[in-house]
Amino acid sequence: MLISPNVLGQVTLPDTWDSLDGHDCECPISGCPNHYSPGCGYFTLEPNLAHRDATGSAALRINRSATQVICYRHKYSMFLESFDPCTNLGNFRCPYKDCQQRMAVDAGGPPAYWLGEGYFKQLN
């Protein structure tokens, strides 16, 4: 994923936002529709034709991926760091600077939101 050139320099973030929330990364492989942002996770964009037909103005529809992996410490969507074709596991990592949270998720598993390991541990 690369930071989308379509949004660089065009977004002004509120002071209360972390700079990670404002990044839209897109896949550099020609024809791949996937995007990623820490605040939204993996998603694709498509024209919202019903809105265009009803209002006469263009709009986009965001379709979030059915599988999202969330870092329980920072509440960001982890990104797919690598994929092992032998085990069919996707290795996700938190985008937050210096965070070491990682999680392996079976690519053939059911669509779900996955929370990082330790999320359900009780706090002392």
The pLDDT tens digits of the residues spanning 50-102 come to: 888 999 888 888 888 888 888 888 888 888 888 888 888 888 888 888 888 88
Residue 20 has pLDDT above 70, yes or no: no
Q: What percent of the chain has pLDDT over 70?
A: 75
The residue type at 25: C
- 104 touches 83 (CB < 8 A): no
pLDDT of residue 54: 92
pLDDT of residue 59: 86
Residue 18 has pLDDT above 80, yes or no: no
Residue 45 has pLDDT above 70, yes or no: yes
pLDDT of residue 5: 46
pLDDT of residue 81: 87
Q: Strand runs (DSSP E) across the chain, as ranges? A: 2-3, 25-26, 34-37, 41-47, 60-64, 68-70, 79-84, 89-93, 102-106, 113-115
Average pLDDT of the chain is 76
DSSP 19: G
Q: What is the pTM of this model?
A: 0.65
Write phi, then psi, for 115 (nearest 5 degrees). Answer: -100, 140
Q: 3-class SS at 51?
A: helix
Using a 10 angstrom Cβ sphere, with 0-12 exposed, 13-18 middle and 19 or more buried, the burial of residue 120 is exposed
Domain-by-domain residue ranges, the chain? 1-65, 66-124
pLDDT of residue 97: 81
pLDDT of residue 12: 40
